[in-house]
Chains A and B, each alone.
Chain A
Amino acid sequence: MMTGAVTDAEIIDKIIAAGKKLGYETEVYFSAGRGINLELKGKLIGEACGSETWGMGIRVIKDGRIGCSSTNSPSRWEDCLKSAIAGSKFADPQEWGGVAKPSKPAVASLDVYDESIAACDISTAKDLLERMLSAADGIAADIAGGSSSISVGRTTVANSEGVSYSLEKTGCGVSMETISGTSTGYEFDSSGFLKDLNPEKVGREACEMAVFSKDGGEIATGKYDVILSPLSVCQLLSAVVIPSLSGRNVHSKRSYLEGKLGECVFDGKLSLYDNPFEGQSARLYDAEGVPTKRIDFVKDGVVEAFAYDLKTAYRYNEKSTGSAVRAGTGGAPVIGMHNFCLDGKREDIFDEKAVFANGIVGAHTANGVTGDFSVELSNASWMSGGVKTDPIKSAMLSGNIFDMLKNIAGISKESRDFGSGVIPYLRFSDLSVIGR
């Protein structure tokens, strides 16, 4: 994208040169993109929104003091650099071994760009909605809302050591919200490629979910076998398990897994890893320019690794695992996951009768340190032989996610690819369910 007469690459070069001149290691993380988002109000398109995004984060380091700042105004890059430098003066110094040096990626290239999306044409987004709506046609649920979106964007990380990596990727997504009486349904899908998106499935399943969950029966308080959907598993992992794998949380003693490296903490059939080369969030370099790699956090139940960015790695004498993402305040890199996967011995887990949880209400209220949680289930039902039989009106599930992952009754053969994670169904025995 051009910004006036100056190109983005020229701005990045100017910032790095200005930072260097003042004696700072300087790093710029830059992103620009555009997208179209259509919103359904009921069955009709109520909003059509186009956006052009432009933003950058600057990080400077001198004598182990780190400062960050961000802006979405190209013309304010000097203020932004000044602010990063001012911030660095107040930050306590730490061990620092330098910004990333140029290096080769672990794999040659990634497939994250779909030419058919790149034009960001509104008719593409409209077509997705039409396909989703036609699949929903004839199912006795009211469509409350929904959306389709397409986007294309480029991110660049560059620094004063000569690193300059760019990645251009596309994205598309659909969602639908439905209701039948007081029974609600929701489904979504997203992908980097139009051909992999399934709007028909989203439309059909969102409607069928609302219809199926109508007139649910009560469940008596007690201990039950429970099958969690990939979405439910994902919600609990994101609230508790993923933060506990951050090297920063581990060393700050905010993680349940602190001091447990090398120990068999989980069920022997459980493995957890980050695979940055697949999915919509795939990348060859992390947000600091460090080459990404597969990280095996938990292998056959044993904790084998934690995630590190440069800052945390230097501080605790570890190595960066290429886990930096730009989600921090002021454009700062923080530790995150690229494509988090749960794997292990796969089997048929659907034979015996169990309570099935399609989703969870309130996963974010879980105790992030201890793993204790108590949540309401959404679209819960009885399941037998892989078939949802009778809907359950309301049920609350209480437990401890770490205790549950110590004793998994089964990992399904099927997985769901969320674009930023690949997660199967999990079966557990004897979980506490509270009825009304």
Chain B
Amino acid sequence: MESPDYYDIRHVNGIAVHIEIDNGRIESASGSFSDTALLRVLKKSGWGIVSIENYSSKSKKEINEYIQTALRYASATEEKVTLADAPSGILKVPKMKEDPREISLEEKCGLLMEIERAAAIKDVINTRANYTEGSGTVHFEDSLGHEYTYDICRSGYSVSAVAKRGDIIQAGRESEHTILGLNMRHKAEKGRKAAERAVSLLDAKPAKGGIMDAVLDQELAGVFAHEAVGHASEGDLVKEGVSVLKGKMGEKIGNGIVNVVDDPTLHEFGFMPVDGEGVKPVRTEIIKNGVLNSYLHNRQTLAAVGDGDAGHARAQTGEVPIVRMSNTFIENGDSSYDEVIAECKNGILLKGSRGGQVDPGRGVFQFNAEYGYLIENGEIAGMVRDLSLTGDILKTLHDIALCADDRRMNPGYCGKSGQNVPVTDGSPHLLLKNAVIGGMG
């Protein structure tokens, strides 16, 4: 039998629990089971890969057969792959305050219902809440003798409300996700907050688009750090030439007050104890004092590109590990929130996020705020809705004029190459000069 130059196997044996409540009714409370592994081999050239379902039942003999199949696939590849050396190791998974798996489905339904019912206020015509819990055992082993096993449980909820008055319909949403245990107790105020936002948006005016100075709140500025900076710093995109940050290492690409970090070791939602190829996760400073300092890498892209840290490979269950962000944020500056608003003078405050997208090769990003406020004479004025922000990555980083000292982190999910992984984005309030704002007013 042929033997590979290198192989690794990442197996996830997991359970997902999901509860859905719609207008006060429990629509579903379900559990599902997965047992999937991904096997990668290297021989001479590129990766031969096999995804294996129902992995636990496989015998040693069957796994060897899968390795032979993967070797056959590998022989069809052409790219020469070199893996950089990177310190292997595993971090401790933080202890949970209250393990969601030990709470009955009935109690979890009740807690979610409290949050959902709190959103049913005047003018609200629909309320909805979801709870998700994904837990499982991850096992990694490679042909170098590294072997790691860890158990992690990620859980959280979202609540949304739709308000209507006359012909105007608006929506509000709140969500929280964590690795630190059940987070649904005494959270009715989150349901109320989502509902109150939907109702107050009924009176908000559509924003007027154009070029203006803007203040980004912590959540939207976090999305900016993730979409505009984080993706472009991913080593696979740099390697294939589809990042505007390619060839910019050591160059000043932003205002000197801008520091951007990706840190998978933080106990936030994007935490991982060991990366998708057995490398010990490390904090990586992507931008330091406005200068491009590091790319995010896996072992292959580190060898091919250099300038950065491996330990950023992640994979959805049963998928190929690729370079991903984890907990990505802009560091605090030394301005206060009040100074940021006052310095903006006349412009717009963008709050919350409905998501975003980036074309890292072109260097263009787009994302939507949930709502906002006009800033007039350095003070907050009327509420506005349906706002978006676009820009060129390299120009925008120079246009960040002030960073406040009030960083906050927001958990969510990031999609890339069809894979979703848990992440956290964060930032303090930012003042962005000459922002391109989209609006319908």
Interface pair B171/A69, CB less than 8 Å apart: no
Which residues from chain B contact A362 at a C-beta distance below 8 Å? 355-357, 366-368, 388
A79 to B54, CA, bound (A): 14
A366 to B210, CA, bound (A): 18
Contact with B along A369-380 (1 / 0, CB 8 A): 110101110100
Interface pair A398/B362, CB less than 8 Å apart: no
Beyond A50-B70, A329-B28, 10 additional pairs, beta carbon < 8 A: A45-B76, A47-B46, A50-B73, A90-B29, A184-B361, A365-B368, A398-B209, A398-B438, A432-B440, A434-B210
B359 → chain A closest CB, angstroms: 6
Show 28 residue pairs from A and B whose CB-CB distance is below 8 angstroms, ordered by the A residue. A38-B76, A41-B239, A47-B77, A48-B48, A48-B73, A49-B49, A50-B50, A50-B70, A51-B51, A54-B54, A66-B28, A68-B28, A73-B56, A83-B33, A90-B109, A183-B362, A253-B126, A253-B162, A329-B16, A361-B357, A362-B368, A362-B388, A369-B171, A374-B209, A376-B365, A394-B392, A434-B437, A436-B392
A103 to B50, CA, bound (A): 39
Pick the contact of A75 from B29, B57, B72, B357 — CB < 8 Å? B57
Which residues from chain A contact B20 at a C-beta distance below 8 Å? 329
A374 to B354, CA, bound (A): 12
Which residues from chain A contact B109 at a C-beta distance below 8 Å? 90
Interface pair A396/B357, CB less than 8 Å apart: no
Interface pair B164/A45, CB less than 8 Å apart: no
A66 to B53, CA, bound (A): 27
Q: Does B90 contact A (CB under 8 A)?
A: no
A74 to B58, CA, bound (A): 12
Q: Does B34 contact A (CB under 8 A)?
A: yes
Which residues from chain B contact A145 at a C-beta distance below 8 Å? 240, 242
A3 to B54, CA, bound (A): 10
Interface pair B53/A53, CB less than 8 Å apart: yes
Q: Does A408 contact B (CB under 8 A)?
A: no
- Closest residue to B355 on the A side, CB-wise? A365
Shortest Cβ-Cβ A-B pairs, 5 listed: A330-B30, A374-B438, A365-B368, A362-B366, A48-B73
Contact with B along A341-383 (1 / 0, CB 8 A): 0000000000000000000011011111110101110100000
Q: Does A332 contact B (CB under 8 A)?
A: yes
Which residues from chain B contact A69 at a C-beta distance below 8 Å? 30-33
Contact with A along B156-167 (1 / 0, CB 8 A): 000000101000
Q: Does A23 contact B (CB under 8 A)?
A: no
A301 to B35, CA, bound (A): 48
Interface pair A92/B26, CB less than 8 Å apart: yes
- Closest residue to A179 on the B side, CB-wise? B361
Near A by CB (< 8 A), chain B positions 339-359 give 354-359
A83 to B70, CA, bound (A): 35
Looking at B22, B169, B170, B392, the one whose CB has the most chain A CB atoms below 10 A away is: B169
Q: Does B79 contact A (CB under 8 A)?
A: yes
Q: Does B74 contact A (CB under 8 A)?
A: yes
- Closest residue to A378 on the B side, CB-wise? B359
Interface pair B73/A330, CB less than 8 Å apart: no
How many residues on A have C-beta within 8 angstroms of the other chain's C-beta atoms? 81
Which residues from chain A contact B361 at a C-beta distance below 8 Å? 144, 179, 182, 184
B231 → chain A closest CB, angstroms: 12
Which residues from chain A contact B106 at a C-beta distance below 8 Å? 90
Q: Does B390 contact A (CB under 8 A)?
A: yes
Interface pair A365/B388, CB less than 8 Å apart: yes
A7 to B394, CA, bound (A): 57
- Closest residue to B80 on the A side, CB-wise? A44
- Closest residue to B23 on the A side, CB-wise? A252
Near A by CB (< 8 A), chain B positions 407-441 give 436-440
Q: Does B27 contact A (CB under 8 A)?
A: yes
Contact with A along B31-68 (1 / 0, CB 8 A): 11111100000000011111111101100000000000
B220 → chain A closest CB, angstroms: 12
A79 to B26, CA, bound (A): 22
A91 to B35, CA, bound (A): 26
Interface pair A374/B368, CB less than 8 Å apart: yes
Interface pair B76/A73, CB less than 8 Å apart: no
**Contact A49:B364 (CB < 8 A) given known A179-B242, A361-B359:** no
Interface pair B126/A49, CB less than 8 Å apart: no
Near B by CB (< 8 A), chain A positions 26-53 give 36, 38, 41-42, 44-53
Looking at A36, A38, A329, the one whose CB has the most chain B CB atoms below 10 A away is: A329
Which residues from chain B contact A376 at a C-beta distance below 8 Å? 357, 364-366, 390
How many residues on B have C-beta within 8 angstroms of the other chain's C-beta atoms? 86
B326 → chain A closest CB, angstroms: 22
**Contact A365:B46 (CB < 8 A) given known A184-B361, A330-B31, A378-B359:** no
Interface residues of A (CB under 8 A from B): 3-4, 36, 38, 41-42, 44-55, 66-76, 79-80, 83-84, 86-87, 90-92, 94, 122, 126, 142, 144-145, 177, 179, 182-184, 221, 252-254, 256, 328-332, 361-362, 364-370, 372, 374-376, 378, 394, 396, 398-400, 432, 434, 436
Which residues from chain B contact A72 at a C-beta distance below 8 Å? 33-36, 53-54
**Contact A122:B438 (CB < 8 A) given known A71-B32, A367-B386:** no
Interface pair A331/B32, CB less than 8 Å apart: yes
Q: Does B78 contact A (CB under 8 A)?
A: yes
Interface pair B387/A48, CB less than 8 Å apart: no
A365 to B356, CA, bound (A): 7
Interface pair A374/B387, CB less than 8 Å apart: yes
Which residues from chain B contact A432 at a C-beta distance below 8 Å? 209, 440
Looking at A45, A73, A76, A399, the one whose CB has the most chain B CB atoms below 10 A away is: A73
Pick the contact of B31 from A48, A83, A144, A182 — CB < 8 Å? A83
- Closest residue to B69 on the A side, CB-wise? A50
Interface pair A48/B46, CB less than 8 Å apart: yes
Interface pair A364/B57, CB less than 8 Å apart: no
Which residues from chain B contact A329 at a C-beta distance below 8 Å? 16, 18, 20, 28, 30, 32, 132
Which residues from chain A contact B368 at a C-beta distance below 8 Å? 362, 365-366, 374
- Closest residue to B385 on the A side, CB-wise? A372
Interface pair A144/B242, CB less than 8 Å apart: yes
Q: Does B244 contact A (CB under 8 A)?
A: yes
B233 → chain A closest CB, angstroms: 16
Interface pair A70/B33, CB less than 8 Å apart: yes
- Closest residue to A94 on the B side, CB-wise? B25
Contact with A along B109-125 (1 / 0, CB 8 A): 10000000000000001
B379 → chain A closest CB, angstroms: 26
Interface pair B355/A68, CB less than 8 Å apart: no
B31 → chain A closest CB, angstroms: 4
Q: Does B363 contact A (CB under 8 A)?
A: yes
Which residues from chain A contact B35 at a C-beta distance below 8 Å? 71-73, 76
Q: Does B258 contact A (CB under 8 A)?
A: no
A121 → chain B closest CB, angstroms: 11
Pick the contact of A91 from B28, B125, B355, B362 — CB < 8 Å? B28
Q: Does B241 contact A (CB under 8 A)?
A: yes
Q: Does B105 contact A (CB under 8 A)?
A: yes
- Closest residue to B244 on the A side, CB-wise? A182
Interface pair B78/A45, CB less than 8 Å apart: yes
Q: Does B282 contact A (CB under 8 A)?
A: no
Pick the contact of B33 from A80, A364, A398, A434 — CB < 8 Å? A80
Which residues from chain A contact B210 at a C-beta distance below 8 Å? 221, 434
Q: Does B214 contact A (CB under 8 A)?
A: no
**Contact A365:B31 (CB < 8 A) given known A42-B79, A49-B49, A90-B26:** no
